[in-house]
Amino acid sequence: METLKAFIFGVTLAIAVGPIAILIINRGLTIGLKIGLMCGLGAALADFTYGLVAFTIGSVLVGFLKLNAHYFELLTSAILLAFGLWMLHGSLKTSDGSSKSELAAERKNSFSYLLSTYLLTVVNPLTVVAFVGFSGQLVSPVTSVGHVFILGLSIFTGSIVVQFALAYFGATLGKLLQNPQIIRFLNIGSSICVMLFGMAGML
């Protein structure tokens, strides 16, 4: 029962439209399916990490976050805002004549996309709030290391199904939209959305 509950939570968390979902779709759209999938994997691994934390030291973490909630929210929101600005800068800088070699170089450096998405998901306020709530909903305490791993893996499985679907959606959209101006407009829109999530956390 708890395994199914963890799987459903992973799906629900990934479905929530937030900055990470926007980022994964955007990467699939602009760089391609492989990078979109790597970003999705990074997000799912972050959910897996939080799952392990929630099932082990969740109560301690909840107490710490409640004491420092305001400062933590400001910090994570500032990170999202900065990343949104970085995305916007890249979108505005990109010209219609972007070289194929530049895109090829971006595709080769796939691990950096996985890592950056992982770190952004870890500091995403929506992820933190969701896991804080979930760790308090556990029916029984989890003590076995194997049980903790299985529940964390259930969250990861639920999450990665949705994350990969977002990457496929972005890549499919990229194939349908061949006009560079439309893609650039969507990139700018994605950047602004991520920035708005960061600004909302500061207000």
pTM of the predicted model, to two decimals? Answer: 0.77
Taking the C-alpha atoms of residue 56 and residue 143, their distance in angstroms, rounded to an integer, is 8
Task: State which of 18-22, 145-149, 167-171 shows the largest mean pLDDT.
Answer: 167-171
pLDDT of residue 147: 80
Q: What DSSP element (H or E) covers 116?
A: helix 110-123
Q: Is 139 helix (H, G, I), strand (E, B) or coil?
A: coil
pLDDT of residue 168: 94
Q: What DSSP element (H or E) covers 49?
A: helix 33-56
Q: Which one, of 94, 81, 34, lies nearest residue 195 by Cα?
A: 81
| Mean pLDDT for the stretch of residues 10-30 | 82
User: Does the structure show a pLDDT above 70 at 104?
Assistant: no
Structure tokens given for 140: 């029984």
Taking the C-alpha atoms of residue 14 and residue 16, their distance in angstroms, rounded to an integer, is 5
* Tally of structural domains, the chain: 1
The one-character DSSP state at 31 is T
Structure tokens given for 96: 């219609």
Average model confidence (pLDDT) for the chain? 77
Taking the C-alpha atoms of residue 81 and residue 193, their distance in angstroms, rounded to an integer, is 10
* pLDDT-wise least confident of 36-45, 130-139, 150-159: 130-139
pLDDT of residue 42: 93
Task: Quote the domain boundaries for residue 133.
Answer: 2-202
**Furthest-apart CA atoms within the chain: distance in Å:** 58
